[in-house]
């Protein structure tokens, strides 16, 4: 898992937030110019994109999600395993 921040203030904003949330060992890429937004066809923030081992997009979610809820973890596990299940949202 990686994080991509398109915040214009870059690390000055991202690093304190990660520290506040006690997030460790999460690679964060900074794109203060927002160049990646067009390349990844992102229409709103936050956007989460699940890529398979081959780099092909498996799912995309828009908006804030409760990633630690069982239903979300089950959905992601099914997508990773290639099992049909609920559609990403």
- C-alpha 34/C-alpha 52 separation (Å) is 24
**CA angle 34–13–73, rounded 5-degree value:** 80
Task: Decide: pTM greater than 0.75.
Answer: yes
CA dist., res. 51 & res. 69, Å (int): 20
| Mean pLDDT over each residue of the chain, to the nearest integer | 91
How far apart, in whole angstroms, are the C-alpha atoms of residue 67 and residue 51?
16
The confidence band for 89, taking pLDDT boundaries of 50, 70 and 90, is low
Residue 55: left if φ>0, alpha if ψ -120 to 50, beta else—which one? left
- Same domain, yes or no: 35 and 62: no
Whether residues 89 and 54 share a domain: the answer is: yes
Residue 56 sits in the same domain as residue 77: yes
Domain span holding position 15: 1-42
Percent of the chain with pLDDT over 70: 93
- Number of separate domains in the chain: 2
Per-residue model confidence (pLDDT) at position 30: 97
Q: State mean pLDDT over 1-23.
A: 94
Tell whether 28 and 58 lie within a shared domain.
Answer: no
């Amino acid at each position: 898992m990686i994080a991509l921040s398109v915040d214009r203030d870059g690390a000055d904003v991202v690093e304190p937030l990660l520290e506040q949330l006690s997030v460790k060992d999460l690679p964060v890429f900074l794109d203060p110019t927002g160049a990646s937004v067009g390349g990844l066809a992102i229409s709103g923030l936050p956007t989460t994109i699940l890529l398979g081992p081959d780099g092909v997009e498996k799912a995309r979610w828009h908006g804030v999600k409760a990633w630690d809820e069982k239903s979300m973890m089950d959905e992601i596990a099914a997508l990773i395993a290639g099992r049909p299940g609920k559609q990403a949202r």
